[in-house]
Amino acid sequence: MFLAMNYHGFIKLEMKSQIEDFKNRNTIVIEDITHSILSAELKENDEYINPKLNATKLKAEYMETGNQKLKPMFLERFTKLDNLLSNEYKEFKIDDISLSILNSIDITKIKNVEQMRIIFIII
């Protein structure tokens, strides 16, 4: 199993080739794009991404300027996006195989390994 994660919208071309290499070797690939959902490289689900980007920009402008007229505008857009997700959630839902793999992960074991890494780094 290979878990590919793109952090904060940075999608490296090497990652795409590595994903293809793993797929060609019949390895299960899980690609986490949650940090990349607004990346310009992602063309799927434009119906959601472009409005999300616009709403986020409005919210950022509101946060910067404090312009009270912007608040109901970005809140309305986020509400519409929530409704879109509620109505068409299946397109955004994790697939059954990935969900099964994630459900079989031993979280306690991972926590213990991470604690050991932290102790090792501190020492």
Q: Confirm whether 23 is domain-assigned.
A: yes
**Residue-range definition of the domain harbouring residue 8:** 1-37
Q: Are 108 and 69 members of one domain? A: yes
Q: Confirm whether 29 is domain-assigned.
A: yes
Q: Confirm whether 71 is domain-assigned.
A: yes
Supply φ then ψ for residue 96, to 5 degrees: -65, -40
**What predicted TM-score, i.e. pTM, was given to this entire model?**
0.40
pLDDT digits (tens, 9 = 90+) for 59-117: 999 999 999 999 999 999 989 888 877 766 555 567 788 888 888 888 888 888 877 77
Q: Are 52 and 92 members of one domain? A: yes
Q: Are 9 and 62 members of one domain? A: no
- Residue 16 sits at the vertex; the CA angle it makes with 13 and 22, to the nearest 5 degrees, is 145
Under a CB-based contact definition with an 8 Å cutoff, are residues 70 and 54 in contact? Answer: no
Q: Are 30 and 47 members of one domain? A: no
Q: Confirm whether 119 is domain-assigned.
A: no
Going from the C-alpha of 65 to that of each of 60, 68, 98, the distances in angstroms are 9, 9, 42
Q: Are 25 and 53 members of one domain? A: no
**Structural domain total, the chain:** 2
